[in-house]
Chain A
């Protein structure tokens, strides 16, 4: 099984900050990686697919990069509505998710 390791597990940042979350796969998964946002009490929302493609309607302050085993998710300027838990998900084999990164406002 492919293991996905996200870091950090939690993060506190100020409005306007640049925020970066990383996801590492236990083996090469090419660009088979997606990112999701989950707000408290809500279903997850697809933000980035295939490592770097922005889902329709998602603000451009969100971006993703990487390939192989190392991936990065970035919020260029943190907004209050971005408070959520973020998950990476691989699909090189049957899908699985990283453990999540809880993002809070400082």
Chain B
């Protein structure tokens, strides 16, 4: 059974940094691209970033480009999102999601974690 467990969320001041983690199990982690998708309170879904299975290709939404960095450690089956220069509008539940196939990078979000809440406020 695929399991994705996010951690690292919390309260941070504007301009601060936070690193999210997503521990994966139940599948061959290195074979699948992974994404981060966020949802502001009471709002819709927003794709944030994706990384290929090998980690060699990364993709970002314009809203986070230059501030967020996605990475993965395939030896630890863990996905990361380093978030710098945080803004109030980054406040959201952050989900990690696994792609549907081994040959796509951000096309499908087949399995999701339970999410971790990031609150940016002074």
Residues of A within 8 A of B (CB): 1, 32, 34, 36, 38, 43-46, 49, 55, 87, 89, 91, 94-100
Tell which of B19-27, B69-77, B80-88, B112-120 binds the partner.
B112-120
Closest Cβ neighbor of A92 among chain B residues: B107
With contacts A91-B106, A94-B106 taken as known, whether A44 is within 8 angstroms of B113 at the C-beta atoms is no
- B115 to chain A: which residues have CB within 8 Å? 43
Residue of A at shortest CB range from B114?
Answer: A43
- Secondary structure dominating the interface of B: loop
- The range of chain B's interface size is 20 to 34
Q: A49-B100, A94-B59, A94-B61 are in contact. Are A55 and B110 (CB under 8 A)?
A: yes
Q: Are B108 and A34 in touch, CB under 8 angstroms?
A: yes
- Knowing A43-B95, A43-B115, A46-B100 are in contact, say whether A99-B106 is a contact too (CB < 8 A): no
Residues of A within 8 A of B44 (CB): 87, 97-100
